[in-house]
């Protein structure tokens, strides 16, 4: 069973890298947070941290049917810079990995730090559990998932063991402790 999941994730990530379901395109200013839209208080980074990177994600949220309901399994997305250049991957963990310098950050949602978005996965504030490398993700303390589009689990029942992937987009911001 685990092997099938790895094949799905590997093929999904390969499809994204090859320009498939999650291919990157130049992000719009709205998605990069250049609009006047405010960040909901529930998902704001605490004082004492500074923003170091904004990356646009385009890919899928994969769900598995467990006990007759769709449960989140994993994301698989390409991360792009403001010019639309692929610069990393986002996958199960959740983890974000830079394809430019190999650095990575793994994070977990902060309890209660979510903002519901109609027709999309919620915006989230995540706290770093670990980082790797000396690149863009070095020392990241918080990750925000903002400006989400799509990615919502299908409505209704499902067949035990079934999996489905739903397209989504989001802006991820990465903050480090202020010095």
Domain ranges of the chain: 2-177
pLDDT at position 38 is: 87
pTM of the model: 0.82
Calculate the alpha carbon distances from 79 to 22, 97, 136, 178 in Å: 10, 9, 13, 24
How confident is the model at residue 28, as a pLDDT? Answer: 46
Nearest Cα neighbor of 141 from 76, 61, 49, 11 is 49
Which pLDDT does position 11 carry in this prediction? 38
Alpha carbon 5 to its chain's center: 18
Report the C-alpha gap between 76 and 174 in whole angstroms.
18
Under-70 pLDDT residues of the chain = 1-37
Taking only the tens place, the pLDDT of each residue in 44-91 is: 999 999 999 999 999 999 999 999 999 999 999 999 999 999 999 999
């Amino acid at each position: 069973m685990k092997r099938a999941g790895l094949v799905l994730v590997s093929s999904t990530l390969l499809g994204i890298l090859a320009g498939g379901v999650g291919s990157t395109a130049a992000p719009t200013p709205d998605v990069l947070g250049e609009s006047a839209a405010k960040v909901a208080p529930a998902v704001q980074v605490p004082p004492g941290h500074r923003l170091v990177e904004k990356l646009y994600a385009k890919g899928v949220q994969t769900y598995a049917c467990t006990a007759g309901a769709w449960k989140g399994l994993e994301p698989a997305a390409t991360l792009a810079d403001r010019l639309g250049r692929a610069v990393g991957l986002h996958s199960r963990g959740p983890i974000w990995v830079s394809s430019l310098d190999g650095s990575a950050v793994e994070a977990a949602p902060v309890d209660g730090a979510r903002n519901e978005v109609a027709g999309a996965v919620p915006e989230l504030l995540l706290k770093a559990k670990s980082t790797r490398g000396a690149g863009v993700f070095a020392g990241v303390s918080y990750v925000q998932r903002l400006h989400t589009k799509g990615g919502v689990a299908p409505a209704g029942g499902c067949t035990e063991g079934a999996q489905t992937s739903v397209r989504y987009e989001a802006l991820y911001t990465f903050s480090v402790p202020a010095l």
